Structure 1
């Protein structure tokens, strides 16, 4: 838990930077704010304290951008630089995240947080943005992909992965994946003005309406499900799919995720308990990912497959 949070904060901020943390009690709504350096926030004793607070029903957040040294509050004026572009997807999350992944208008996200079932926050690590450009881009993202229009401030907070979201019963452990290590500039985002979102171009001509023909990704999905059902080796299938989809920004990531979700779906349909599916996914990728990240990723993929099956049952 603490290691996942530490990895996330270390990826998001540079050594010596000042960051803002927000602690909100789910039971009474009381909020506390802490302004600390990255080193303080990632110290083992401080992380243990945060874990203690979270264990007792406190939701944990971090500001998306660093603060000026000496700041005491998380105000717009205290933000020193734009470090992230982000979107908060609260409604129809799986479909809207799929549209975001498929779009040619945005690069591959630096991080995707699963904040609760079917709800996500996507972040892009950026440079070269001023505050006005960032705010405009946040509005464009929200308009393009159905994100929360309120999440367009430079001092916005995001949930910290590795900790529990106590808004739900049972509490949901916030998971994270890192599709890209790139740092992006304004030119990498090719979104039209908010009023022009009639139809964004999608990678490989993917469409989202119900009458379209099978897309390349759908063919990949059908192929993966068929091959796995025939007992083919998942690692070999992953490498075959990655080679076949060299058009993807991150072919290996795309292939791993496709094969793993298809595997999880098959295991669940065969009657395997969810926790066993999570364990099998961890074992499959434990040589490729750090232990904490591997665990969080396996749980997110297994629950995604579970939701896919549930939607089919009740469609």
Structure 2
């Protein structure tokens, strides 16, 4: 990994939490709680989907991949943050920084593609119900999931390869809480034009394009829902999309703030807050959104816990 760079900078220092030195213990407990909720919630969803045959459908197949991504997201950033809280020294080695950036951008690009695939799944279910089984057969949905992961890996590999060619000239203080492309470009010396162009290009192809596919899918979905005559039918159709819509709005909103905000005009505190919301809070919210709004997921949970179907039915009516 560009050994020449390492002779100039062997480690980076995160400044994200430097403004609150007396609150390190409190922040450690808060981030630990968030991490535990994230890991337990997402692993629980993956386990329920595997154990309950009623959840062996394309929608839950993609949801299990989303939960896996959320576990990876948190695990690549939060443990290092917790370790730095304990050490009271927010540092990361050059190689660890490059690795963290690679995996972080891999998961970000994969999730963008996966959310677009999940929107198409909802379009097929609501707008093409008679063809849904063929449109989302295992021969179709498995390659779509694989493509989502490869999409994220390719995007990340390009950015990481370009980042290893950056020169830092001794500057090693990052105004951030983890390694990412924008904060590294801020402290790099020399020409970063290629890196910036790659970042802007990725924001179009990796971020904007999947978002537009989601919007187009939901335009067709909403028009199909409005054509349903019964209120019950409209409510049922909309409920199958509501959780995904909430996740899309939160995720693409946060990723847009993180990668497309102006380089100047934001304080370190605002940058830290946006980064925390985007990469730490959002993975915790996804399992909560899907489990709280989804009767099938809650039903699978009651079944695993040993509750009778009658008990679940009575609770779902309340």
Same topology, TM > 0.5: no
Question: More relative contact order in 1 or in 2 (CA 8 Å, sep 6+)?
Answer: 2
TM-score bucket of the superposed structures, by smaller chain? under 0.3
TM-score (norm 2): 0.24
TM-score (norm 1): 0.24
